[in-house]
Amino acid sequence: MSLRRIVLRDFVIVQELELELRACFCVLTGETGAGKSILIDALQLALGARADSGVVREGAARCEVAVEFDLPGTLLPWLAEQGLSAEDNNLLLRRTVDADGRSRAWINGSAATLNQLRALAGELVDIHGQHAWQSLTRPDAVRQLLDGFAALDTAAAQRCWTHWRVQRKALQGARERQHSLQQERERLSWQIGEIDQLAPQPGEWQDLNQQHSRLAHAQALLSAAQTATAALAEDDSNATRLLHRACNALAAQAHIEPRLGAAAEQLQAALAQVDDSVHSLRQYARSIDLDPASLDSLDQRLAQWIALARRQRCAPEDLATLHVQRKAELSALEQALDLDALLLAERQAWDVLQAEMQDLSNQRQQAAPRLAQAVTQTMQTLGLQGGCFEVELLRLDEPQPHGWDQVEFLVAGHSGVTARPIGKVASGGELARIALAISVVTSRLGQAPTLIFDEVDAGIGGMVGHTVGQLLRQLGAERQVLAVTHLAQVAACAQQHLLVNKQQSGGQTVSTVQEIEQSARVRELARMLGGGESSQASLAHAREMLAQPQDRP
């Protein structure tokens, strides 16, 4: 599993480039300013790094970066979840940036977001920059290095810490606001008590208005029902009598003209409907209650309802809902005033947090000496013979989302001295070598199939440089390693050598990258040794370096 191919179009000072990479230890070399880190910058762009118009080659409309990886099986579920294809075990990432800074991205031919690219980055590539040593003085970065070495997951501790903080804040807030909360409780209790006297029910306001409207217009409604009943069935010339007369006249002639029989049937149906209406109207008239006392009672309740709604500053129809809300507020307030319950909840959250964070501390205590031993052993091969590396865990006064521990790296550059904090005793060169030792140790435990080292060998040389090359070659036997270097000793250990050249073309500066072998590689190593490509001594030295067996350091 590795990075197979990089294709660039109009990227910075690269006009066009298509490069095949092998799963081995590969180096990029070239003169200062040739653009040795361009490939790494392009790879980071394809993996979701921020982009602006500055990455577009001058005069071009847009740049394009495409990288192809072997598809790790661990990514198949993620691709399926994202609705992205996974054909032929390939993973193709493509990114374009227009001259105005607009960017687009694709994963296996499907449009993708930058967040999706970034989600892939950690699964595909592990980059160690030339200034990695600077992070050794930052507590967060140091702790993350140890946690990565120990394969610790702090997510559960972070959740416990957040829950404990919420409970503690609730307890502290209740203690500080006891007086104001009590006043608020009294206010709510008084308001609820006033509404309790009316006891409004959901939907009652609408029912009261309907009942009041019926009682207020009862006489008019009764008169209407009686008038309609008389017209339909009680007057001398009522509708029922007239319909019967018409129906009988038509039925008598139906044997002569069938159409008259059909009309008679329709009138018979109308008679049935009139009878039903008369029956309903008589029942309605009997149900109407001309009760002035009931009307007066409704008037009084409606008046009370409106007056209470005005005092509570709400619409009358919202009074019942407000009653329920105020009761809920009072219940929540009483819980906030219950210091015993809040204290119990905070203590329970604290106990869970302590157990979780103690587990983290135990795992760090176990991993710290193993990391220290591994880095110390690697330091001996990097010109720091007799030096030692230690990992110290200090307990913080208060737990943090990551746990109780503050992690500090201590170092002694040679034997016979006491290890002290790394930022206080190590020189720039020593820091670079220690950072490299840590990078090598932690990279062996990583999951990313491709490791990139961007001039991490700065500040070293000679036999130490050869040892660095050997270390990277060893890593290359396990995973793909791509290193930008200025050291011939490192480059000589590589199994693939890429040369970066900068030249003038059409009035513009362009950079090219090509794989070199045999005599071309000898000349490049000679140049890196400082003797120039034509120096016989440097050429002989370069041939000797390439001929050396690549043993373990």
State the DSSP string of 450-510: EEEEESTTTT--HHHHHHHHHHHHHHHHHSEEEEE---HHHHTT-SEEEEEEEEEETTEEE
Residues of 373-388 as b/e, b for ≥16 C-beta within 10 angstroms?
Answer: ebbbebbebbbbeebb
φ, ψ of residue 393 to 5 degrees: the values are -110, 125
- Residue 451: pLDDT over 90: no
Say what the pLDDT of residue 228 is: 85
- Mean pLDDT, residues 58-80: 89
- Mean pLDDT, residues 516-528: 90
Enter the DSSP assignment of 83: T
What's CA 74's distance to the chain center, in Å?
20
* Alpha carbon separation from 166 to 296, 301, 353 (Å, rounded): 55, 46, 12
- Mean pLDDT, residues 114-134: 77
- Mean pLDDT, residues 22-33: 87
Helix, strand or coil for residue 514?
strand
- Residue 215: pLDDT over 80: no
- Residue 70: pLDDT over 80: yes
Say what the pLDDT of residue 549 is: 66
Report the amino acid identity of residue 411: V
Say what the pLDDT of residue 257 is: 83
Percent of the chain with pLDDT over 70: 88
pLDDT tens profile 304-325: 888 888 888 888 888 888 888 8
- Mean pLDDT, residues 130-136: 60
Enumerate the domain spans of the chain. Answer: 180-334
How many whole angstroms separate alpha carbon 252 and alpha carbon 519?
127
- Residue 26: pLDDT over 90: yes
- Residue 275: pLDDT over 70: yes
- Check: CB of residue 473 under 8 Å from CB of residue 2: no
Say what the pLDDT of residue 405 is: 93
- Residue 112: pLDDT over 80: yes
- Residue 295: pLDDT over 70: no
Of 536 and 183, the structure prediction assigns the larger pLDDT to: 536
pTM attached to this predicted model? 0.60
Say what the pLDDT of residue 119 is: 87
- Mean pLDDT, residues 177-204: 77
- Residue 93: pLDDT over 90: yes
- Mean pLDDT, residues 78-83: 88
Say what the pLDDT of residue 223 is: 66
Confidence class of residue 533 from pLDDT cuts 50, 70 and 90? low
Say what the pLDDT of residue 202 is: 82
Say what the pLDDT of residue 66 is: 95
- Residue 299: pLDDT over 80: no
Say what the pLDDT of residue 179 is: 63
Weakest mean pLDDT among 20-24, 37-41, 99-103: 37-41
Closest to 445 measured CA to CA, from 199, 34, 152? 152
Task: Specify burial of residue 285 (Cβ count, 10 A radius: 0-12, 13-18, 19+).
Answer: middle
Contacts of 266 (CB under 8 A, 6+ apart): none
Percent of the chain with pLDDT over 90: 22
Say what the pLDDT of residue 131 is: 56
| Residue whose entry in the numeric block shows the structure tokens 């000496």 | 369
Of 532 and 154, the structure prediction assigns the larger pLDDT to: 154
- Residue 476: pLDDT over 90: no
Report the amino acid identity of residue 65: V
Helix, strand or coil for residue 400?
strand
Helix, strand or coil for residue 66?
strand
pLDDT tens profile 386-435: 889 999 999 998 899 999 999 999 988 778 788 888 877 656 667 767 77
pLDDT tens profile 326-361: 888 877 777 766 677 888 889 999 999 999 999 999
Of 362 and 232, the structure prediction assigns the larger pLDDT to: 362
- Check: CB of residue 456 under 8 Å from CB of residue 435: yes
Say what the pLDDT of residue 67 is: 94
- Mean pLDDT, residues 361-389: 90
Confidence class of residue 296 from pLDDT cuts 50, 70 and 90? low
- Mean pLDDT, residues 438-458: 76
- Mean pLDDT, residues 262-275: 88
Q: Kindly state the tokens that stand for 429.
A: 């060169």
- Mean pLDDT, residues 81-104: 88
Of 453 and 423, the structure prediction assigns the larger pLDDT to: 453
Closest to 200 measured CA to CA, from 47, 308, 295, 287? 308
Q: How many CA atoms lie within 13 A of 180 on its CB side?
A: 5
Question: In whole numbers, what is the pLDDT of the chain averaged over residues?
Answer: 83
